[in-house]
Structure 1
């Protein structure tokens, strides 16, 4: 932990994008320049670009805005915990679900074991994106959690619109897209027993400043910085907007279930009325995507008529792309 604290202190000093000498950094931390150099190497291992120029010192490739737990907590009623370094925000909440208040949030700057749908690893370089998870206790039980990731996606788009970001769309069941490129992914983990409340852990990773060398996904992708262009992203403001939007929509979901959000989803569906294919293991189903039904299943118009598909190993790719996209 002490090693992490030193690295975090260096990052805080370098976050304004200016040059700082190894001697100055060492003085601030009470360590040698050799120790500073070692910490810089560790920071680079977190996926942060740090340059050293002879006679000038160290500098970040670009200024970095760090998340501020106190600032975020001032603007939301949810309990908020920020862990600069963590294995996984979802796993942190999973391990504490029984002791948490509904709506509790965990944020991180860096995840060493971030994960996505179907157990895939989510690459999580320090400070480059937004990684956060929320715990929600759903009194209606496990069965009522069907389609929850769809509703959370709607909440993300509504939060982005409030910040001036338009034209973000949804990909069934858990991704956000901009101009046919992946912007963010949502992961919902559900636990509980029949007849009891469901314990939901809802996680999201959103690309903000992701670099080409950091990408491990095998599909076209984009970042919020590219979407917004010259407009700067305030990561703390974004976190606040998402926490508020998730909380509001989850309260609405408790009252209506997925049925209250079908029209909203269909209006935001990136693939609606387009030719698509569904991949289920070795099986491929092609058709025209027609939105979702009252259970949150995706609807495809095939040669056999309208068919619904839900859950499991389903992925959705547009046939307008090459098959290996």
Structure 2
């Protein structure tokens, strides 16, 4: 059965009579569902006897994105459970470089299973399929994607953007975007991956449930077009992934990371399942592991991104 959000996803006006009939609801139940969506940050206009979503930004143009990436399949779903999940579920029928985009995820996920909020047409959200040699390490891949996002934003004129190990993009110290990489399967010596990106573009400031400081891209690029944004980011990501396949985490990449590392040289906490370790953040090694100087620099530790969380130490 179609949901109210799916019916409204075209951003056209729909009469109350039509919606109650299609959803088999009475007026009171329909109003309750509208209020529930509004509480989730979906802007809905109910004037003049109609119900209409007021998108935070212009809807994505799947046609334009497909034209830019003509060699790849572009899947557009206005409403979706999760772009990563759709690609994971269909990995056998899709190819390296195929893309999924959406306006709204009902079950978006961040790192370590955290929920990723996505009010309708307020984020740039996409996932893509990639393949790598099963004999080569994947360590540092999220850093490579983060660096590509940084370069794409810089091309678009964004300033104040930095990177936080292992998979966050920050704007003036607040979370702007996150990266989620999942392994689908291994076949014929290749590992199939799904790489997901979610970036805040015009998130409503009111009534959100985000438990950390966050930023919107429109704070610095107020007229940014999400279609152009996604195309630019994907172009940079594809280029960076190809380079990673050839070079891994090179010395040049590590130097670039230092220049864009939001926490480099600062006192931080590394939070593991068993303990919290304090030290001075010292960038990354050739595997993309975080380097931490402890005991006044007498000891150096390295951490894998899948094992720990990084936080700035608050005195």
TM-score range, shorter chain: 0.7 to 0.9
User: Equivalent residue for 1:237?
Assistant: 228
Is the alpha carbon distance of 1:80 and 1:272 closer, same or farther for their aligned partners in structure 2, counting shifts above 3 Å?
A: same
Q: 1:176 touches 1:185 (CA, 8 Å); kept in 2?
A: yes
Distance (Å, rounded) in 2 between the aligned partners of 1:134 and 1:208 = 20
Distance (Å, rounded) in 2 between the aligned partners of 1:141 and 1:216 = 39
Cα deviations by residue, 1:178-224 (Å, 9 ceiling, x for unpaired): 11111111011124449821111110111111123454332211111
Is the alpha carbon distance of 1:296 and 1:195 closer, same or farther for their aligned partners in structure 2, counting shifts above 3 Å?
A: farther
Q: 2:41 touches 2:208 (CA, 8 Å); kept in 1?
A: no
Report the secondary structure of 1:188's partner residue: strand
User: Equivalent residue for 2:138?
Assistant: 145
How far off is 1:282 after superposition?
3.5
Is the alpha carbon distance of 1:5 and 1:190 closer, same or farther for their aligned partners in structure 2, counting shifts above 3 Å?
A: closer
User: Equivalent residue for 2:286?
Assistant: 294
Report the secondary structure of 2:9's partner residue: helix
Distance (Å, rounded) in 2 between the aligned partners of 1:216 and 1:51 = 22
Q: 1:142 touches 1:194 (CA, 8 Å); kept in 2?
A: no
Q: 2:56 touches 2:122 (CA, 8 Å); kept in 1?
A: no
User: Equivalent residue for 2:108?
Assistant: 114
Alignment of 1:210-221 (within 5 A): 210-213=203-206, 215-221=208-214
How far off is 1:44 after superposition?
3.6
User: Equivalent residue for 2:273?
Assistant: 281
Cα deviations by residue, 1:135-191 (Å, 9 ceiling, x for unpaired): 0011x2164211100000000011111111122111000001111111111011124
1:157 to 2:130 alignment: no
Alignment of 1:117-196 (within 5 A): 117-138=111-132, 140-141=133-134, 143-193=136-186, 196=189
Q: 1:289 touches 1:298 (CA, 8 Å); kept in 2?
A: yes
Aligned residue pair count: 302
Residues 101-110 or 76-85, more deviating:
76-85
Distance (Å, rounded) in 1 between the aligned partners of 2:143 and 2:75 = 25
Alpha carbon RMSD of aligned pairs, Å? 2.7
User: Equivalent residue for 1:261?
Assistant: 253
Distance (Å, rounded) in 1 between the aligned partners of 2:286 and 2:188 = 22
Q: 1:289 touches 1:300 (CA, 8 Å); kept in 2?
A: yes
Cα deviations by residue, 1:115-135 (Å, 9 ceiling, x for unpaired): 111111111211111111110
Cα deviations by residue, 1:259-301 (Å, 9 ceiling, x for unpaired): 2521222221110111111111241111111100001100111
Ranges in structure 1 where 5+ consecutive residues have no aligned partner: 15-24
Q: TM-score, normalised by structure 1?
A: 0.84
Q: TM-score, normalised by structure 2?
A: 0.86
Residues 55-64 or 239-248, more deviating:
55-64
